[in-house]
Amino acid sequence: MTTDRALMLLRRFGPVVVLVGLFAWALASGVAGHLSLEELRARGEGLQAFAREKPLLSALIYVCVYVATVSISLPGALILSLSGGFLFGPLFGGAAAVTGATGGSTVVFLVSRTAFGDFFRRWRNPLLLRIERGFENNAFSYLLTLRLIPAFPLLIVNVAAGLMAVPARTFVLASFLGMVPSSFVYAGIGAGLGHVFAQGGPVSLHTLLSPRIYLPIVGMGVLAFLPPLWRLWRQGRVAPAPDVK
């Protein structure tokens, strides 16, 4: 193998190897296990004190942790969004969460596009073809709709957009705008976790049903109506004009 060929393979697949290695290390070392509500409750007072003393530094660390978590595909994005509200409040916490989520998603998007984009575009899989047509018709609105539905996993959307060669600027803008509502809702829920933790009971969905917290959850239900409203709005714009006789 020539040196140029080796360098090309390193540039193409090196980032994937690094992310996979970090993912394996996070699982083996137990770091992934710290992304939990119980861990947040155990360390909550200390983390909040640090956030009050050094808000900018703590926010920077938080965003970096969020970016790293999403980049290596650890299942902790929701916990981190809740933690953002718990540490910084619903507004600043939501802004930090959507920044971290967008940054980590962009890393996965770029790595997927660089390493596997050409291969999957040559693989004419029917499902991939349908997704590709959706991105080709209007990449921004299609990706925005996927982001507005919190049920769609970050990893799947990030990889799919990378494989379909969505422009980087379109990906970042649509991802950021689409994740703003859910990020602020989750941060709003997290802002009320201190009262739940203070009660000393187990942290579960049942413990979240308090007047201070359930209103943001209702906001999640409102989000479910955004994609169909968005599609209706688009159809109304492109609907043909009626014939005039």
Q: What is the pLDDT along the chain (245 residues), one digit of tens a residue?
A: 577 666 766 676 777 888 888 888 888 888 888 888 888 888 989 999 999 999 999 999 999 999 999 999 888 888 899 999 999 999 999 999 999 999 999 999 998 887 665 555 555 556 566 666 666 667 887 788 778 777 678 888 888 888 877 889 999 999 998 888 888 988 988 888 887 787 776 665 455 545 555 555 556 555 555 655 666 566 555 444 444 44
Number of domains in the chain: 1
Domain that holds residue 96: 14-24+34-236
On whether residue 193 sits in a domain, the answer given is yes
On whether residue 6 sits in a domain, the answer given is no
On whether residue 205 sits in a domain, the answer given is yes
> How many degrees, rounded to 5, is the angle at CA 131 between CA 130 and CA 135?
120
On whether residue 4 sits in a domain, the answer given is no
On whether residue 221 sits in a domain, the answer given is yes
On whether residue 241 sits in a domain, the answer given is no
On whether residue 62 sits in a domain, the answer given is yes
